[in-house]
Amino acid sequence: MTDLNDRQSPVFLEKVGPIGRLVLNRPEKRNAMSEAMWASIPGAVARLDADPDVRVIIVCSSTEKAFSAGADIAELEQIATSPDRQESNRLAIREAQRTLARAKKPTIAQVAGACMGGGCGLAIHCDMRFAANTARFAITPAKLGLIYPLNDTKQLMDLVGPAKAKSMLFTGRVVDADEALRIGLVDELFSLGELAERTQAFAQQIAQVSQYSVRGIKQTIRLILDGQHDDDDQTAQMFKDAHTAEDATEGVRAFLEKRSPAFRWNGGSEA
């Protein structure tokens, strides 16, 4: 089992102020994703989600050469001979990505170098993707005779649209950083030297506003992505409850008093 505190582990966690970092750490393999790495991610995300000191989660790499080169192909060859391993690997990947996509806290993928296959799948399940100009993206099942899962395909289509998703998936071609920004696969593009600092600075911006608001807004966006088109009793109640919550009381008072608000909500029962 992966020790998430061990910086020698293939996946480990660290905290910088209110920012939690989930670090992919298999640099000798360019972070090729093993089943064990996939299996460790849900617990890592859950731990950061439960930490009251963490407000934003950054998914990143310990090496600037690659965010992740994708699946561990040597392991994939072994998995292909075992139906049980095929299913356990499929479920490990699905659970890792689903847990990341549905984290309560905002998630940002910080991408430098190769972001291929499963690595790209991991990045697109984050709320945002900040990339260095060295980043290269590809989703390559067509080059391996495989089929991309429906959930992953939907995530890609939600970002870039059906035509661009088909262009990437039908060919398995490499998309450079400039094209990734142009088609909406990444949200911000920086030089390699600026990437970590700029990603951290944006995460700090999120950390400074009301986490009650951020948490509720993220929940609303997830409902929309899951197909909800109008308010129901739950979302109507969320809107009404916010007006009497402690952060709204503080935010309005701070605005009237012309000072910065001191938001205190950190994940209690109000959202």
Instruction: Let me know whether 154 and 79 are in one domain.
Output: yes
How many Cβ atoms sit within 10 Å of the Cβ of residue 103? 21
pLDDT at 268: 59
Same-domain pairing of 172 and 231: no
Provide the domain limits for residue 247.
Answer: 210-256
Task: Indicate whether 156 and 76 sit together in one domain.
Answer: yes
Reported as a single tens digit per residue, the pLDDT across 134-169 is 999 999 999 989 899 999 999 999 999 999 999 999
Per-residue pLDDT of the chain (271 residues; tens, 9 = 90+): 578 889 999 999 999 999 999 999 999 999 999 999 999 999 999 999 999 999 999 999 999 999 999 988 888 888 888 999 989 999 999 999 999 999 999 999 999 999 999 999 999 999 999 999 999 999 999 998 989 999 999 999 999 999 999 999 999 999 999 999 999 999 999 999 999 999 999 999 999 999 999 999 999 999 999 999 999 999 999 999 999 999 999 999 999 999 999 999 987 544 4
Does residue 184 share a domain with residue 80? yes
For residues 143 and 163, state if they share a domain.
yes
Do 227 and 93 share a structural domain?
A: no
CA Rg value for the chain? 19
| Contact yes or no for 139/117 (Cβ under 8 A) | yes
**Co-location of 242 and 186 in the same domain:** no
Are 188 and 198 in contact by the 8 Å Cβ rule? The answer is: yes
DSSP for residue 133: T
Q: Is residue 164 domain-shared with residue 245, that is, in the same domain?
A: no
- Per the structure, how many domains does the chain have? 2
